Structure formats: structure tokens, C-alpha cells
């Protein structure tokens, strides 16, 4: 019986490598899209587009770490993380860390903004749709 499991794992390895490569490329493209959005737009377009892209980036990182997750679970995880960071902004922790670190400011933000929660959901939904379309057959959406 172990041979069957080893054979199945060996057969799945190229799919997992491909999934991780696509996720890494998508993460880089998402960062590029966020920087491009900031370069060519301002105001709410840049702000809320960046919020959606933040969750898209988190989904790509979730898939990079856990490529076997279904698209729905990956999107849910990314959305939960985005919302957790936003709700953390109700405390002084992100603001204090952001004062001392550019990286903390980029990752954690500093000020709670309720509309961000909606735009994180938009990013998760779009990322879920793309991930579902690109997922290897049999990965499902649930």
C-alpha cells in the first residue's frame, strides 16, 4: 500500500510545483499592479484598489505556502487575514509599529477604515475566480 501513496505523491509533485510557480509569479504581478496603481492613480481608486490587491497578494502567498488548499479555502484564508489586520488597526499596535518601520506600515497599515473590509472581500472574490479558473482539474472550488 505505501507504494500507491508514494506513486500518488510523485504524480502530484509536478502539479504542486506548477501551482507554487504560478502563485509566486502572481504574487510578483500583484505587487507590480499595486505599485503601478499607486503610480498612475490617486485618491479612492488607489486606496481601495490597493485594498483589493492586498487580499489578492495574501491569496497568492497562501497558495504558495499551502498549494493543496481549494480556491475557496485559500480565498477565505486571505480574506480572514485581511480582515484581522484591519481589525488590529483598532488597537495602537499597527500605528506604533508603522511609525518605526516602513515594512510594518505597508503590511499592517495604521488606521481602521470600515470600507476597506468591503474592498478586501472584492479582492478575495476576484482572486477566488482567477484561482478557480487556473486550478488543476480536480482541485474543486469548495
pTM (2 d.p.): 0.86
Distance CA 142, CA 132 (A): 10
DSSP 112: -
How much is the pLDDT for 13?
79
Helix axis angle, 2-40 relative to 43-65, nearest 10°?
160
Share of the chain above pLDDT 90, in %: 78
Distance CA 68, CA 84 (A): 23
Is residue 14 very low, low, confident or very high in pLDDT (cuts 50, 70, 90)? confident
Amino acid at each position: 500500500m505505501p507504494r500507491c501513496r508514494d506513486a500518488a505523491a510523485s504524480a502530484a509533485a509536478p502539479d504542486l510545483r506548477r501551482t507554487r510557480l504560478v502563485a509566486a509569479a502572481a504574487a510578483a504581478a500583484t505587487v507590480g499592479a499595486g505599485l503601478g496603481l499607486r503610480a498612475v492613480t490617486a485618491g479612492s481608486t488607489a486606496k481601495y484598489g490597493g485594498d483589493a490587491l492586498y487580499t489578492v497578494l495574501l491569496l497568492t502567498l497562501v497558495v504558495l505556502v499551502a498549494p493543496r488548499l481549494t480556491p475557496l479555502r485559500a480565498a477565505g484564508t486571505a480574506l480572514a487575514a485581511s480582515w484581522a489586520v484591519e481589525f488590529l488597526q483598532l488597537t495602537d499596535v499597527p500605528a506604533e509599529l508603522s511609525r518605526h518601520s516602513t515594512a510594518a506600515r505597508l503590511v499592517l497599515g495604521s488606521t481602521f477604515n470600515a470600507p476597506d473590509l468591503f474592498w478586501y472581500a472584492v479582492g478575495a472574490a476576484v482572486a477566488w475566480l482567477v484561482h478557480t479558473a487556473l486550478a488543476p482539474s480536480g482541485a474543486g472550488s469548495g
